[in-house]
């Protein structure tokens, strides 16, 4: 079986959805690698499963957000300090996100493209006394605006170029991995400068 065939097989099994939910949950708490890395690869190989896989990511993000919110409510300073030890998070993100949430409420969770991680939004929302329903709505807004466009592009590319991708899977997988490494190197360098 080809690599893309194995990836498609994983995407179609419950284990694929559970893996994406678990990844999204961990990323919503402390994992510094976005679930897009796995999600887009699964969707490239199995674009017909985009809705199921994306819903698994949203469910995982909601679960992780609730757990982080409980931690932030119980120990706000320790939770913030823990997040500040993670790569890609700096103190300016908290003030930026705090201003956005204060000005726009749950709509302030929305972001297109790279930006502060969801966990920063969660801690700031809790710190501002935000309620749980607003946090859940904000998390959904964040995942739709931040991950939704990327996964739709991956699904469209997977549908349109399936044969082409499978005919060049080694090169595609190497390029895919390299693209994420370059993205994270650039993102972490940009955060380090601010």
Angle at 138 between CA 103 and CA 136, to 5 degrees: 140
Q: Is the pLDDT of residue 140 over 90?
A: yes
**Which pLDDT value is given to residue 194?**
58
Beta carbons within 8 Å of 88's beta carbon, 6+ residues apart: 32, 117, 187, 188, 191
Cα four-point dihedral sign 184, 91, 75, 121: negative
> What is the band of 128 on the pLDDT scale with cuts at 50, 70, 90?
very high
pLDDT digits (tens, 9 = 90+) for 37-95: 999 999 999 999 999 999 999 999 999 999 999 999 999 999 999 999 998 898 999 99
Chain centroid to CA 193? 23
| Count of helix runs (H) and strand runs (E) in the chain | 11, 0
**Which pLDDT value is given to residue 184?**
85
Distance CA(109)–CA(119), nearest Å, equals: 11
Q: What percent of the chain has pLDDT over 90?
A: 77
pLDDT digits (tens, 9 = 90+) for 30-43: 999 899 999 999 99
Distance CA(9)–CA(73), nearest Å, equals: 40
- What element of type H or E holds 157? helix 148-160
Taking CA atoms, 41 is separated from 1, 11, 122, 151, in Å, by 17, 9, 27, 9
Average pLDDT, the chain: 93
pTM: 0.91
């Amino acid at each position: 079986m080809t690599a893309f065939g194995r990836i498609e097989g994983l995407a179609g099994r419950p284990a694929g959805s559970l893996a994406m939910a678990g990844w999204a949950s961990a990323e919503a708490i402390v994992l510094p690698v976005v679930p897009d890395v796995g999600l887009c690869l699964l969707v490239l190989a199995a674009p017909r499963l985009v809705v199921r896989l994306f819903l698994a990511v949203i469910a995982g993000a909601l679960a992780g957000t609730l757990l982080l919110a409980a931690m932030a409510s119980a120990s706000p300073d320790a939770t913030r300090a823990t997040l500040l030890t993670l790569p890609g998070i700096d103190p300016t993100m908290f003030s930026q996100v705090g201003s956005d949430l204060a000005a726009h409420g749950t709509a302030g969770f929305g972001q297109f493209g790279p930006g502060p991680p969801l966990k920063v939004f969660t801690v700031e929302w809790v710190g501002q006394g935000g309620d749980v329903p607003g946090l859940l709505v904000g998390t959904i807004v964040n995942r739709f605006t931040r991950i939704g466009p990327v996964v739709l592009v991956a699904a469209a590319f997977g549908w349109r170029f399936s044969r082409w991708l499978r005919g060049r899977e080694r090169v595609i997988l190497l390029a895919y991995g390299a693209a994420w490494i370059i993205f994270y190197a650039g993102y972490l360098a940009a955060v380090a400068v601010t």
